[in-house]
Amino acid sequence: MRKKGKVESATEFVEKIKKVHEEAVAALRKTQEEMKQYADRSRRETEEWKKGDRVMLSTKDLVFKEKPVWKLIERYMGLYVIEEIISLNAVKLQLPSSMRIHLVVNVSQIVRYKKQVKG
């Protein structure tokens, strides 16, 4: 065990540093909570996907042999079936071999297929 120091300036310095440290920790916690609030604004719940769901694939990041006019191309293409759930953010699709893209895609690139109403 240490004895209480005879040098009062050293103990005052230690107390001062502890106080500054506590203030810094409190400020960081407050800032962290504020940042979390701002980040959570844009977050949304992910859809629950299951094997066999019918989906459409976004054309946003696809590369085509012929350069189509982007204004006229459809936003989503095909009607594909989910073959396997890889994780909450990735699914494996049953794609035709002619597409030549990876079968596992991020869930942000797919939308649930809604049956078209005729009329």
Q: Is the dihedral of CA 107, 109, 111, 112 positive or negative?
A: negative
List b or e across 66-77, with b for residues whose CB sees 16 or more CB atoms inside 10 angstroms.
Answer: eeeeeeeeeeee
- Cα of first residue to Cα of last residue in the chain, in angstroms, is 88
Residue 1, pLDDT score: 53
The counts of H helices and E strands in the chain are: 1, 5
Q: Is the dihedral of CA 87, 89, 94, 96 positive or negative?
A: negative
- The number of C-alpha atoms within 13 Å of 109 and in the hemisphere containing its C-beta is 20
Residue 119, pLDDT score: 64
Residue 2, pLDDT score: 60
Q: Tokens 């459809």 belong to which residue? A: 74
Average pLDDT by stretches of 10, the chain with 119 residues: 69 94 97 94 83 90 75 84 92 90 91 82
